[in-house]
Amino acid sequence: SRLLRLLHGWWEGLKDFYSPNSYVEIPEFNGYCGVDMNELYRSVQLYLNSLHAAVHSRRVSVSRAKNSSHLSYTLAPDQTMEDTFVGARLWWTHNVDSVPDSLEEKRSFTLKMKKPDRTRILSDYLDHVAHCAEEYDSRSRDRKLYTNNGHGSHDCGWTAVPFRHPATFSTLALDPELMDAIKADLESFGQGKEFYHRVGRAWKRGYLLHGPPGTGKSSLIAAMANYLHYDVYDMELTKVTDNSELRALLIQTTNKSIIVIEDIDCSLDLTNRLSKPPAAPPRRLESRRSVESLMEADDSRVTLSGLLNFTDGLWSCCGEERIIVFTTNHKDNVDPALIRSGRMDMHILLSTCGFPAFKCLAFNYLGIEEHDLFSIIEQSIQAGGALTPAEISEILIKHKHQDHYLALKAVVSALHLSIVTTFAQSDEPFEEEEEEVAASNKGEEQNAVVDNGEVVDVFVNNPPVNDSCVTKNSRSLTWQRRVRYLIKTKRLCEQRRLNHLL
Ligand SMILES: Nc1ncnc2c1ncn2[C@@H]1O[C@H](COP(=O)(O)OP(=O)(O)OP(=O)(O)O)[C@@H](O)[C@H]1O
Ligand SMILES: [Mg+2]
């Protein structure tokens, strides 16, 4: 049998010598006994999957992992698929051999190419394969949403569920300039590997999202995760018992992930650092460090300094491609140390809906890009109508089976109510000129006032929906004046009523 093997070897060598082709084998496992997984094998598998051309070859194996939403295609055993690279043609074959006396199989890919191509392109081609595979893996893998629900131990503090939030940048109603800025920032972060290494910074970035409830902070986080194909770690700070648990949680997070701490000002008493009673003077010559750690030991909760270490201490660099996002409704309540630049690199204010953002919502919810009422809505927003995207989407959902006119009219009413409420709460004096305009504009409103004094409600329930109420000079100003006039009348009515009561 030794002779046979020798002859076989010679025969193969001879064949190789005269064959115009060259072959490269990529086994699934390294070494003879096969214990180490060969990374390249997996890359080739992903690469062929990414080409999707595998689907066109005669036989493919299709599989789906449990809970996954993606099908994965692989070449069936002994099937061949063709690829091209810088003008060369290459053929991949998947080999599956059964191992004698065992249930296991020996798998490998064979790459066939013309002999001259081997020296010319092989190493570039394999780099290309690895690169495409990595890209494909990060795009197609199922992402996870992790949370520290308090049941986990230090070994595994996170529990995961599939992350399938549908928010994307195209469904998000945002000021277009802000949206572009955020996207550009995320993109340059995602491609910044070399940059961060070159300048000696940890490859991470912090975003502070602030703004009133319902302006899309959580939705933006989901859109960011979907945009970059990152996992999300939703950290519930109140469930973390102490700083060391915080660190343990940090270490367990994977690369390419967003770590979120919502309502940062509510989850931690961030003033504790400033309002802490002065520590008793150290009795002996203790080092400053140990005094600090004693102070922290007092309250075994997570402290501000623990959180600062979390965001940019040495341990925060234990991985790469991390984004940390804090959200808050009141930026002023957050300790400045926590959000100084370098920790939170970009501060994003999400506020009430501007007109472009409204148009985006109207398109998403009603499927319309233009409508007669749009100009009225634009004017009302300019005149100070402030509704959050959440409030507007709520109105649009409520009316989604009705006429577009009714839905938009409801938005106009809500905007006017918000203007009226804001103005009514302020006690800005009216200017002379406005008084005059108001006087000259007396009309239906006056009648309404005479009726019962609830002029504002009349106005709000019957918003003027065409240009008839707008003078020719300046639309938005007239709107504002009109509203202010009404408020003034309402204030007067209230005053009269109060006087009457007195
Ligand atoms: N900018 C937006 N674009 C589209 N939809 C939005 C936007 N903002 C809010 N919404 C809608 O309003 C709902 C609430 O938004 P979200 O949870 O993102 O607000 P939030 O800012 O995180 O509020 P909170 O401060 O209360 O956590 C979402 O379900 C979303 O559909
Ligand atoms: Mg939220």
- Give residue 346 CA to ligand 2 midpoint distance, Å: 18
Structure tokens at 496: 């009269």
User: CA nearest 95: which of 131, 41, 134, 136?
Assistant: 41
Alpha helix stretches (DSSP H) within 28-78: 39-51
The predicted structure's pLDDT at residue 326: 93
Give the Cα separation of 452 and 454 in Å (integer): 5
Closest ligand 1 atom to Cα of 221:
18
Reply yes or no on whether the pLDDT at 207 is more than 60: yes
Please return the burial class of 451, using the count of CB atoms within 10 Å of its CB with bins 0-12, 13-18 and 19+. exposed
The predicted structure's pLDDT at residue 452: 33
Residue nearest to atom 26 of ligand 1 (CA): 213
Closest ligand 1 atom to Cα of 219:
18
Binding site membership of 215 for ligand 1 (Cβ less than 6 Å):
yes
- Give residue 222 CA to ligand 2 midpoint distance, Å: 10
Closest ligand 1 atom to Cα of 212:
25
The predicted structure's pLDDT at residue 499: 57
Residue nearest to atom 25 of ligand 1 (CA): 213
User: CA nearest 144: which of 164, 116, 170, 168?
Assistant: 164
The predicted structure's pLDDT at residue 248: 86
Show Cβ contacts of residue 330 under 8 Å, excluding neighbours closer than 6 positions. Answer: 210, 265
The predicted structure's pLDDT at residue 412: 86
Of residues 408 and 476, the one with the higher pLDDT is 408
Binding site membership of 364 for ligand 1 (Cβ less than 6 Å):
no
Look over the chain and give the mean of its residue pLDDT values, rounded to a whole number: 77
- Give residue 388 CA to ligand 1 midpoint distance, Å: 8
User: CA nearest 132: which of 53, 75, 14?
Assistant: 53
Most confident segment among 28-42, 54-68, 293-307, 319-333: 319-333
**DSSP character for 314?**
G
For residue 162, the tally of other CB atoms under 10 A from its CB is 11
The predicted structure's pLDDT at residue 409: 86
- Predicted TM-score (pTM) of the model is 0.72
Q: Which residues of 167-198 are buried (b: 16+ CB within 10 A; e: fewer)?
A: bebeebbbbeebbeebeebbeebbebeeebee
Show Cβ contacts of residue 393 under 8 Å, excluding neighbours closer than 6 positions. Answer: 173, 361, 365
Residue nearest to atom 7 of ligand 1 (CA): 216
- Give residue 163 CA to ligand 2 midpoint distance, Å: 16
Our measurement of the distance from residue 390's CA atom to the centroid of its chain's CA atoms, rounded to an integer in Å, reads: 17
Length of the chain: 502
* Residue 426 pLDDT class (50, 70, 90 cuts): low
Show Cβ contacts of residue 380 under 8 Å, excluding neighbours closer than 6 positions. Answer: 412, 415, 416, 419, 479
User: CA nearest 144: which of 132, 159, 166?
Assistant: 159
- ipTM value for the complex: 0.98
For residue 433, the tally of other CB atoms under 10 A from its CB is 9
Report which bound ligand comes closest to the CA of 354.
Answer: 1
* Residue 59 pLDDT class (50, 70, 90 cuts): confident
pLDDT (average), residues 94-113 = 85
Please return the burial class of 309, using the count of CB atoms within 10 Å of its CB with bins 0-12, 13-18 and 19+. middle
The predicted structure's pLDDT at residue 497: 56
Report which bound ligand comes closest to the CA of 211.
Answer: 1
pLDDT (average), residues 309-336 = 84
Give the Cα separation of 13 and 132 in Å (integer): 33
Residue nearest to atom 10 of ligand 1 (CA): 390
The predicted structure's pLDDT at residue 335: 85
Please return the burial class of 32, using the count of CB atoms within 10 Å of its CB with bins 0-12, 13-18 and 19+. exposed
Q: What is the pLDDT of residues 165-192, one digit of tens each?
A: 999 999 999 999 999 999 999 999 988 8
Give the Cα separation of 378 and 373 in Å (integer): 9
Our measurement of the distance from residue 47's CA atom to the centroid of its chain's CA atoms, rounded to an integer in Å, reads: 27
Reply yes or no on whether the pLDDT at 418 is more than 50: yes
Residue nearest to atom 16 of ligand 1 (CA): 216
Report which bound ligand comes closest to the CA of 349.
Answer: 1
- Give residue 218 CA to ligand 2 midpoint distance, Å: 4
Binding site membership of 172 for ligand 1 (Cβ less than 6 Å):
yes
Cα torsion angle, 438, 442, 447, 448, sign: negative
Closest ligand 1 atom to Cα of 327:
25
Residue nearest to atom 13 of ligand 1 (CA): 390
Show Cβ contacts of residue 84 under 8 Å, excluding neighbours closer than 6 positions. Answer: 90
Report which bound ligand comes closest to the CA of 391.
Answer: 1
Of residues 485 and 8, the one with the higher pLDDT is 8
Q: What is the pLDDT of residues 352-409, one digit of tens each?
A: 999 999 999 999 999 999 998 898 888 888 878 899 999 999 999 998 888 898 899 8
Give the Cα separation of 474 and 482 in Å (integer): 12
User: CA nearest 107: which of 12, 42, 191?
Assistant: 42
Q: What is the pLDDT of residues 245-304, one digit of tens each?
A: 888 888 888 888 999 999 988 776 644 444 444 444 433 333 344 444 444 444 557 788
